[in-house]
Amino acid sequence: MMQPFLAHPFDSDRLHEECGVFGVIGVTDAANFVALGLHALQHRGQEAGGIVAHDAEQGFNSAHRFGYVRDNFTKQGVMETLPGSLAIGHVRYSTAGTKAATAIRDVQPFFGEFAMGGCAVAHNGNITNAMALRRELIERGSIFQSSSDSECIIHLMARSIQRNIPERMKDALRRVEGAFSVIAMTRTKLIGVRDPLGVRPLVLGKIGDDGFVLASETCALDIIGAEFLREIEPGEMVVISKGQVESSRPFGPSTGRFCIFEHVYFSRPDSIIGGRSVYETRRQIGVELAREAPVEADLVCPVPDSGTMVMTRLCTPWSITPLCASAKLPDLPDSVPVTRSTAT
């Protein structure tokens, strides 16, 4: 039975936006690079992951799995099914509470076959008008396979009358409201798009002589030895093919409204956002907090892990003992975070 579709941002008290996307073009065995990139982005989604790759002889191939990247996409038997020099991937953040609440059909990237060829799409963000779009598309004959708001993008592309996939994607995303960083692929192109407000992050990197990478964070570039080139700008689309990057602005002029929670919570501390280290931003939050809200305390305890950098700077002016009262133990089975009380 398909799970209830939640499209309105207030339908659930859980965060919806923290997924990770990664794509690479122009390298041998691109899926292996994607697996490494998704591993670096694992903090953005632990429930499930997927990879789609394209090979000139075998065409499109995909693998979608529940659980950690390291438990699924490090197996030779799986990776051998994903040949090719072009691939994209996605790690999913749980929004329904348990893995059992999500079907494998909800795991991205999503794939669609169009008249001009296939296209796979991976989306990070929250489409706020997804319920209205879904209702309209179903009334006009679209058949949805998942409960994800991201599937609306594929169906909007299918209904476009444009003659190539990048133009169809522009048509589709002009109908979408909310936050989106999208990575897509055709047989020969890697595509990246950020919404006009630039709410969610997306960066561009270079690997080798002709290879390019798109990723949610710079930490995913570091793990494969890619060179960081720049951030994709708010409202920008890049189309990468044959070692060239073409940029366009399908949404017109826009002013960025980046999500502050990327600095506070979502992003990994060794990532760079807006030319600034996430680690340094969190340290400075601790400095400012110590200045604005001084307190007499015996100890300071950060919860969750992203508060550790804040804690260290908060404690410094008063020589307070920092205490980590909880810690994630990711190597335990079933992906269950475990805490240990230090109180006596």
* Catalytic residue set: 19
Question: What is the sign of the dihedral through the CA atoms of 232, 118, 73 and 333?
Answer: positive
Helices 308-315, 278-292: inter-axial angle, 10-degree rounding: 40
Provide DSSP, 247-268: EE-TT-S------THIIIIIS-
Q: How many residues are listed for the chain in this entry?
A: 344
Contact by Cβ (8 Å): 194, 188: no
Here the tokens at position 94 are 């749980």
Cα distance between residue 109 and residue 121, in whole Å: 5
Contact by Cβ (8 Å): 254, 235: yes
Residues 6 or more apart from 140 whose CB is under 8 A from it?
A: 159
Residue 8 CB-density burial (10 A; 0-12 exposed, 13-18 middle, 19+ buried): exposed
H helices of the chain, where? Answer: 30-40, 69-72, 76-79, 130-139, 151-159, 165-174, 219-222, 261, 278-292, 308-315
Neighbours of 113 (CB within 10 A): 10
Q: Which H helix or E strand runs over 190?
A: strand 190-194
Cα distance between residue 87 and residue 22, in whole Å: 9
Q: Which of 247, 246, 126 is nearest to 197 (CA)?
A: 126
